Amino acid sequence: MRDKIKHKLKELQDESLYREMPSMSEGSGKYVCVDGEQYLNLASNNYLGLSEIHEIREASADAVMKLGTTSGASRIVTGNYSIYDELERRTAVFKKTEKALVFNSGYAANLAIFSSLADRHTAVFSDRLNHASIIDGITLSGAKHVRYKHNDMADLRELLEKHKDVKDKIIATDTVFSMDGDVCRLHNIVSLAEEYNALTVIDEAHAAGIFGRGRGYAHELGLEKRVDVHMGTFSKAFASFGAYVAGDTDIIDYLRNKGRSFIYSTSLPPAVTAASLASLNYVIKNSDIGGRLMDSADGLRHSLNRMGFDTAMSVSQIIPVIMRKNERVLLAKEFLMAKGLYVAAIRPPTVPADTARLRISLRLDVLDETDRIVSAFEELKKSGI
Ligand SMILES: Cc1ncc(COP(=O)(O)O)c(C=O)c1O
Give the pLDDT confidence score for residue 280 in this predicted structure: 98
Q: Where in the chain is the domain with CATH 3.40.640.10?
A: 54-285
Atom 8, ligand 1: residue with shortest CA distance: 106
Q: Would you say residue 158 has pLDDT above 80? A: yes
Secondary structure (H, E, C), 47-65: CCCHHHCHHHHHHHHHHHH
CATH 3.60.20.40 for domain 14-43+288-383, yes or no, is no
Task: Give the separation between CA 82 and CA 359, rounded to whole angstroms.
Answer: 39
Q: Where in the chain is the domain with CATH 3.90.1150.10?
A: 14-43+288-383
CATH number for the segment(s) 54-285:
3.40.640.10
Cβ density class 6-43: b for 16+ within 10 Å, e for less = eeeeeeeeeebeeeeeeeeeeebebbbbbeeeebbbbb
- Going by pLDDT thresholds of 50, 70 and 90, the confidence category of residue 53 is very high
Task: Give the separation between CA 140 and CA 124, rounded to whole angstroms.
Answer: 12
Pocket of ligand 1 (CB under 6 A): 105-107, 110, 131, 133, 174, 178, 203, 205-206, 233, 235, 243
Question: What's the mean pLDDT in 65-77?
Answer: 95
Atom 7, ligand 1: residue with shortest CA distance: 106
Q: Separation of 2 CA from ligand 1 center, angstroms?
A: 31
Closest ligand 1 atom to Cα of 243: 10
Residue 211's nearest CA partner among 203, 222, 220, 202 is: 220
Closest ligand 1 atom to Cα of 178: 16
Q: Is the peptide bond before 349 cis (omega within 30 degrees of 0)?
A: yes
Residue 75's nearest CA partner among 342, 232, 237, 267 is: 267
Tens of pLDDT, residues 55-67: 999 999 999 999 9
Residue 79's nearest CA partner among 275, 281, 272, 280 is: 272
- Listing DSSP states for 77-90 in one string gives TT---HHHHHHHHH
Give the pLDDT confidence score for residue 21 in this predicted structure: 85
Tens of pLDDT, residues 218-276: 999 999 999 999 999 999 999 999 999 999 999 999 999 999 999 999 999 999 999 99
Task: Give the separation between CA 88 and CA 77, rounded to whole angstroms.
Answer: 18
Residue type, 323: M
Q: Separation of 235 CA from ligand 1 center, angstroms?
A: 8
